[in-house]
Chain A
Amino acid sequence: MNTQTPSPKPEQPATRLPSSGGAPAGRWLALIRHRLVWPLMALALVLIVDALISPGFFNVRIVQGRLFGNVIDIFYRAMPTAMVALGMAVVIGTKGIDLSVGSIIAICGAIIAWRMHQGDSHFVILLMALAAGLACGLWNGFLVSVLEIQPIIATLILMVSGRGIGLMVNLLYGGTNPSFTSPLLQGLSVGSLGLIPTRLIVGAVIFFLLWLLVRRTAFGLFLESVGGNAKSARLAGVNARFVLLSAYLISGFLAATAGVILTADTHTSDPVSVASNIELDAILAVVIGGGSLAGGRIFLDGTIIGVLVIQALTTSILTSGLPPEYNLVVKAVVVLIVLLLQSSNMRAAVVSVLVRRKA
């Protein structure tokens, strides 16, 4: 038998840009190619502009035993969107999209107000709201993975019907007075543990658990392989159907947690306008964070930075004294700039300019 090992083949020279500037230039190039650099730069840019136009923007003080200040406020307000965006990052990683997250929040809010009215235990109500989110995710996942409906259409169904379902739930008790108070839910939403607002802790725990699931089990690899090439993944033994279903379950569950926070914050169920356009902010955050709608990659850290960019922008427009009418257009322009900076063509152009200057 021929046991000759394959003869070594000359290593193909990897195509590298001419880094004639030596080691420092090489490190500089490596740095600006890191995937988190652009989202972080966008965030820094927004914050620097803030510091220039409103002195004292970064002041943090303690009021009534908890932290206050613009920076804390950005984190605080970003939390619901951050939870939704993390779920969205998972779904987008599988080449999908979940448009129904705002409607899931509306349904959870309606269920919370309804059961409060019926006098259930608040802890049971919390579990019911989360279960409702899972049920919504199951529905989306069923449409996408079993019936193989395109995700944008499949989740559009719940997006359209969800707010209506919320209104119908309100009708179950006449819908006259959907407001409520709950020490447990409001504690989770607007309370604080020591100096830190509770919802920041809830958000951090969710991020950590999701990170464990995606990066410390093989689940992330399966998600990304299904998003990158579902056929290949299936032939490599990955249960693509189960993986897809789970992605929508996660998104539904995380939308429900955002629903609990938002509903407790407003003390009421308002299915028509709660979390309107949150799906668009969430998608935008994923994209700013480096995710691609073509699927195949999940960036949880980038997504959080993306959410912070969007929220920092909103907060700074409000604090800058710019008339609120300008809010949406300014936001759109800044997002456009961020995305232009992220486009690989634009990036290549920037890199080539830098290299030319070094040479």
Chain B
Amino acid sequence: MAAIIELTGISKAFPGVRALDHVDFGVEPGETHALMGENGAGKSTLIKVMTGALQADGGTIRLAGKEIRPESPGAARAAGIGAVYQEVNLIPTMSVTKNLTLGRLPRKFGLIDWGAARAIARAKLARLGVDIDVERPVGSYSVAIQQLIAIARALEDDARVLVLDEPTASLDANETERLFEIVRDLKARGLGIVFISHFIDQVYRIADRITVLRNGRRVGVGTTEEIPSLKLVSLMIGRDLEHIEHQRPLMDTVASSKPILTAKGVGRRRLLEPFDLELHPGEVVGLAGLLGSGRTETAKLVFGAIRHDSGEIRIDGHHIASPTPKHSLNAGVTFCPEDRKSEGIVAELSVRENIILALQSRRGWLRLLPRREQDRLTSEMIAALNIATPDADKPVGQLSGGNQQKVLLARSLVSNPRLLILDEPTRGIDVGAHAEIVTLIRELAAKGLALLVASSELDELLAVSHRIAVLRDRRMVGEISGAEATREHIIQTIAAS
């Protein structure tokens, strides 16, 4: 059957990152097509290209056989491509009518015809089988109804494609079922539906076909029968690192020494089930799991960026009563967060100032690190980590993603940590920097540091970790080490439900 929308060879690059690399994607009429991938795989970019929010660097988009170049979301919607994003794009304080007709208000004698506007709003909702008071503000309805209003807004009368980006993220089971009924109904009317979700079971309930993206490339496409869940998970996270030798870290020298970190029953209600974790000097423990499984939360609980409400954390046997980033730093624990921009770098400050920040806060405000010492540490780190910057006084915000990540690593390393927690240390950075960071992790472990590495890339974890703790649905479901630590075994542990 001819595709209703066909994207061919779509490429898109951002400074420092190749977000999409010749991706093909097509949806047939009356089909629900799931678009899958971990964070940073390129799902959002692809959707944005399709809906005109971004313009591709290369490739073509055909809608019902005709090539289109949507310049804006409005243009895409007019052409028949509607989209509903994860965060509902409605104005909560305005009425349903206004939200549904904004920008296209019917006029009579130059004045707004509110009667006609209400009629349009009711008709749009009726197509989805929704009957609500259109005069009430959107914010007074539940998230589920708001979701439906957003869909009604996205669907023009002649819509042919509907994109749903994580539509079920904040819905309960009943609400999700109702949404799925509407999706099936739209499908029956011949619309092509693009469905994005990180709930794997929902994908198999609603989707006909699946396309899997990883690091900006399409790594798999097929019907739900052709791609069972085990294969899907493996496609999503099983990255082959050809450039890194698959040398497994040696296990013997480790476990005998006294642990640096002992976490017993550490957890936080509604965030993460209590878990136990031990880390020894020279040991790398990986945290594996899908998006939303609790990798980041585990890392943050251990560092004290999030307070735990059960269990206890011991560093070197000393009980840390109230873990905060400051206490952890003083105990020799450092953390490189996943979200570089919002939690990592201070963009306006220079490379030097960013690198010494943690060390300086450990020393306190009165004992300023002498400038000579600052310069020495900075140039040492720039050389050791191969940070590409013209000089140490360049604002960090102007460096590429990979170099910003290295600056964060440098910030941790200059404060002389004994336990280093890395959350997605290679997210969004180019292949060369990726290999350098993997090598660095191994070198640091060899020097006796303990490392806790959370990553969505399984092969990266396998390449660096002595042990891998597996998380599923905010619970640590297993710890795998030695000969058992294979890709297949970990994927089975993640996919088992």
Judge whether B360 is part of the interface by a CB distance below 8 angstroms. yes
Q: Mark B361-385, 1 if CB is under 8 A from A, else 0.
A: 1111111110000000000000001
Given contacts A222-B361, A239-B326, contact A2 B247 (CB under 8 A): yes
B64 at the interface (CB under 8 A from A): no
Interface size class of A (residues with CB under 8 A): 20 to 34
A4 and B362 CA atoms in complex are apart in Å by 31
A237 to B364, CA, bound (A): 10
Q: How large is the interface on B (under 10, 10 to 19, 20 to 34, 35 or more residues)?
A: 35 or more
Majority secondary structure of chain A interface residues (helix, strand, loop or mixed): loop
B250, B335, B366: the one within 8 Å of A235 (CB): B335
B376, chain A: closest CB distance, angstroms: 17
Q: Which of B231-280 contact A (CB under 8 A)?
A: 245, 247, 250
Segment from A51-59, A151-159, A224-232 that makes contact with B: A224-232
Compute the total of residue contacts between A and B using a CB distance below 8 Å: 110
A101-117, CB < 8 A from B: none
Interface stretch (choices A7-15, A276-284, A307-315, A335-343) = A7-15
| Complex contact B439–A235 (CB within 8 A) | no
Q: Which residues of A contact B362 (CB under 8 A)?
A: 237
Q: Which stretch from B99-107, B219-227, B343-351 is at the chain A interface?
A: B343-351
Smallest CB-CB separation from B336: which chain A residue? A235
Chain B 418-462 per-residue mask, 1 if CB under 8 angstroms from chain A, else 0: 000000000000001101100110110010000000000000000
Does B325 lie within 8 Å of A218, measured CB to CB?
no
Query: In the complex, A101→B459 CA distance in Å?
Result: 58
Residue ID in chain B nearest A224 by CB atoms: B349
CB <8 Å contact, B442 and A238: no
CB of B305 closer than 8 Å to a CB of A: yes
B89 CB → nearest A CB, Å: 25
Instruction: Give CA–CA (A336, B301) in the complex, Å.
Output: 50
CA distance A221 to B368 in the complex (A): 9
Kindly supply a per-residue 1/0 record for chain A positions 172-214, scoring 1 wherever the CB is within 8 Å of any chain B CB and 0 otherwise: 0000000000000000000000000000000000000000000
Q: Would you call A1 an interface residue if the criterion is a C-beta within 8 Å of the partner chain's C-beta atoms? A: yes
Check B348 against A218 for contact (C-beta < 8 Å).
no
The answer, yes or no, to whether B112 is at the interface (CB within 8 Å) is no
Q: Is A64 close to B, CB under 8 A? A: no
B365–A219 CB distance below 8 A? yes
Q: Which residues of A contact B436 (CB under 8 A)?
A: 6-7, 9
Within the assembled complex, what's the spacing in Å between the Cα atoms of A14 and B245? 32
Residue of A nearest to B328 (CB): A237
B446 touches A3 (CB 8 A): yes
The residue on B at minimum CB distance from A238 is B361
A234 within 8 A of B: yes
Q: Evaluate contact between B357 and A221: CB separation under 8 angstroms.
A: yes
Which residue from chain A places its CB closest to the CB of B412 in the assembled complex? A236
* Contacting residues, chain A, for B349 (C-beta < 8 A): 221, 224-225, 228, 296
- When A9-B432, A222-B361, A228-B349 are in contact, do A2 and B442 touch as well, CB less than 8 Å? yes
A87 to B388, CA, bound (A): 37
Residue of B nearest to A222 (CB): B365
Are A6 and B346 CB-contacts (below 8 A) given A221-B353, A235-B325, A237-B326? no
Q: Which residues of A contact B115 (CB under 8 A)?
A: none
Known contacts: A2-B439, A9-B386. The answer to whether A218 contacts B329 by CB under 8 A is no
Decide: B342 and A231 in contact? CB cutoff 8 A: yes
- Nearest Cβ distance between residue B394 and chain A, in whole angstroms? 8
Closest to A213 in B: B365
8 A-B residue pairings within 8 Å (CB atoms) = A1-B446, A9-B388, A14-B390, A221-B356, A229-B343, A229-B347, A236-B358, A237-B329
Q: Which B residues form the contact surface with A (CB < 8 A)?
A: 245, 247, 250, 303, 305, 325-326, 328-330, 335, 337, 342-349, 353, 356-358, 360-369, 385-386, 388, 390, 400, 411, 432-433, 435-436, 439-440, 442-443, 446
Given contacts A237-B328, A239-B326, 14 further A-B contacts (CB under 8 A): A2-B443, A3-B446, A6-B440, A218-B363, A218-B369, A221-B356, A224-B353, A234-B305, A236-B325, A236-B361, A236-B411, A239-B361, A296-B349, A297-B348
Write the residues of chain A forming the contact surface with B, with a CB cutoff of 8 angstroms.
1-4, 6-9, 11-12, 14, 216-219, 221-222, 224-225, 228-229, 231-239, 296-297
